[in-house]
A = this chain, B = another copy of it.
Amino acid sequence: MINVTNQISRRSLLATAGIAGLASSISTNLMAGHHEKANQLSLPKGTTILFQGDSITDAGRDKKKQIANQQKALGGGYAWMAASHLLIKNPQLNLTIHNRGISGNKVHQLANRWDKDCLDLKPDILSIMIGVNDIWHGLNGKYEGTVKTYEDDFLSLMERTRKALPKTQFVICEPFVLRCGAVNEKWFPEFDRYRAAARKVADQNNATFVPFQSMFDEAVQYAPPKHWAGDGVHPSSHGASLMAHFWTQSVQA
């Protein structure tokens, strides 16, 4: 039985999973989506990549020594794994990869530190993974924002970014949860509205969309939810590795 987190069938999730630059040469029949053409990220020599987000991106990185490309500064999650795959596979590209994710962040907290932690770094590729705290902190009474707050704040952040960095390529990662740990029925169907908002933000900003929820909905066929994320929110090393694989496919497409 597939763990589908909304009313969309697994097949239609998979059908849209291939859009927006994610298709590998062997999965072209997943390409049928609502986009007319897939966004494909270019990765020329000297590309600077920035990962932004919350604890899933942060993953214990050392914030005192923010040295590009080094594991300690990039943490232990999907951002570091994706970075290491790209760096080690393509030494000739001389990539520069940063991580500025901070645990607990919601969209408005990214905005508060955006000049220093994004615009000043002038990334050629900017990847944003944000949203789970926007709903989670609401569910546990710590935050009054709604899905409309999330979408409005995210659209505003992207508009500001596009104006400051008109040539930057964007990656927006789908918020996801696994049905275990801290994630219970109270999250739904509200969580699916946050996912839909993230996709809308991606679509309106010509961003590559990495469909992590669709990926994990498929993944639970092969291992239980807790294998991928013990508390349902923070990925294990196996969950992070899978995310890194899908993320790098999006830039290598």
Contacts and interface: CB of A to CB of B under 8 A. Distances in A.
Interface of A: 14, 24-27, 29-30, 43, 69-72, 76, 80-81, 84-85, 87-93, 215, 218-219, 221-223, 227, 237-238, 240-242, 244-246, 248-249, 252
5 contacts: A84-B219, A84-B238, A87-B222, A88-B219, A244-B245
A223 B27 contact: no
Contact of A249 (B89, B227, B241, B246): B89
A71 B228 CA distance: 11
Main secondary structure of the interface of A (DSSP, over half): helix
A248 B69 CA distance: 23
Contacts of A90: 24, 26-27, 30
B84 A223 contact: yes
A48 to B, nearest CB: 16
B252 A25 contact: yes
Given A81-B238, A84-B238, A85-B245, A252 B222 contact: no
Contact of A69 (B25, B71, B84, B222): B222
Contacts of A252: 24-26
